[in-house]
Amino acid sequence: MTDSAVQTDEILFDRIGSAAIIRLNRPKALNSLNLAMVHAMKPAMERFVEDGEISCVILTGEGERGLCAGGDIRAIYQLGKAGDPEVARFWREEFPVNYTIARYPKPYVALMDGIVMGGGVGVASHGKHRIVTERTKLAMPETGIGYVPDVGATWLLPRARGEAGTWMGLTGEIVGAADAIYAGFADYHVPSERLAEVVQALGALGAGASDADVAAVIGKFATAPGESRLEGQRALIDRVFSFDTVEEILAALEKEEGEFAAFTRGVIAKRSPTSLKLTLRLLRAGRKSSSLGECLEREFTVASELLRNHDFYEGVRAAVIDKDRNPQWQPATLSEVTEADLDRYFLGGHQPLFADHRL
């Protein structure tokens, strides 16, 4: 790296043979992304495209706990509380990185070992070759912190099989390797102990290697991921989560028997009512959208508007600042969140918080 404006030891760029390696390097913070990291990532990826000796790009996370736990919500919380006009800058720089990954012209390989949540999904699941392991814990947990799925998740989640994405988006629950593959967030299961071999094998590919070449290499290490819980519950999930209001979904859940339905009801009951309704609207809009870019723009608009309101700050307080796990949502019930309330998050009610709500 020669550009001091994008230098940071929190993201490292390396080479193993013909493979460029992006290492997220905040292991004590579960490699959560901050502004400096996403600011450095995009120009590095552009350089890798131009370098004829690089065959593929591999994303990995330092430490033993995971690839990436998401964006640094503590920093956003602090900026928002301080009234800093740059509070949305992180998203403004992060979302274009997600878009770049989705359209990347060289093979992009994400090693989704351990925790992969929120922004971690954004830098992994838009790639062409997504590897999960027996340790993978993947989630879009935003409804639990008064936020909504972003980083292009409202493009990915509606394209999961059946209504699995709706279940994932509303509950925010962690899923394992088999569920991640079933829902379309990953492609291969490789035992974690063999990831280093995968990297070495990919690095041994010559310049100009194709996506088919990369897939063939990974395929030699891939193993069966086991049974998918979401696939096993597909009939129930599709039956219940096909409705277009959260109230109808919960009413349908009440009619279902069994442990999975009871568990799902309990989880949703703890989430922010506003976030639940916003998330469902975003997912249904994402299903009708023609591009990832359209979804990212819509997510950015809603995310920016959330910075005006109570639930995001309360959710982060309860989960990250005070860690009491007892958020007091406002409004506290679904019935108090009206369609008019939701409209203003989509620029339907008043002037936006920022002069430019577009990316």
3-state secondary structure of 91: helix
Q: Who's near 27: CB < 8 A, 6+ residues apart?
A: 61, 62, 63, 64, 65
Per-residue pLDDT of the chain (359 residues; tens, 9 = 90+): 333 334 579 999 999 999 999 999 999 999 999 999 999 999 999 999 999 999 999 999 999 999 999 999 999 999 999 989 889 999 999 999 999 999 999 999 999 999 999 999 999 999 999 999 999 999 999 999 999 999 999 999 999 999 999 999 999 999 999 999 999 999 999 999 999 999 999 999 988 899 999 999 999 999 999 999 999 999 999 999 999 999 999 999 999 999 999 999 999 999 999 999 999 999 999 999 999 999 999 999 999 999 999 999 999 999 999 999 999 999 999 999 999 999 999 974 445 545 555 66
Residue 294's SS3 state is helix
Instruction: Render pLDDT for 2-58 as a digit per residue (tens, 0 to 9).
Output: 333 345 799 999 999 999 999 999 999 999 999 999 999 999 999 999 999 999 999
- Please, is 342 exposed, middle or buried when counting C-beta atoms within 10 Å of its C-beta (0-12, 13-18, 19+)? middle
Query: Mind listing the pLDDT tens digit for each residue in 279-317?
Result: 999 999 999 999 999 999 999 999 999 999 999 999 999
β-sheet bridge partners, residue 131:
111, 188
Q: What is the pTM of this model?
A: 0.94
Active site amino acids? 71, 119, 142, 150
